[in-house]
A and B are shown apart, each in its own frame.
Chain A
Amino acid sequence: QSALTQPASVSGSPGQSITISCTGTSSDVGSYNLVSWYQQHPGKAPKLMIYEGSKRPSGVSNRFSGSKSGNTASLTISGLQAEDEADYYCCSYAGIWVFGGGTKLTVL
Chain B
Amino acid sequence: DFVMTQSPLSLPVTLGQTASISCRSSQSLVNSDGNTYLTWLHQRPGQSPRRLIYKVSNRDSGVPDRFSGSGSGTDFTLQISGVEAEDVGVYYCMEGKNWPITFGQGTRLEIK
* A joins B in a complex: no
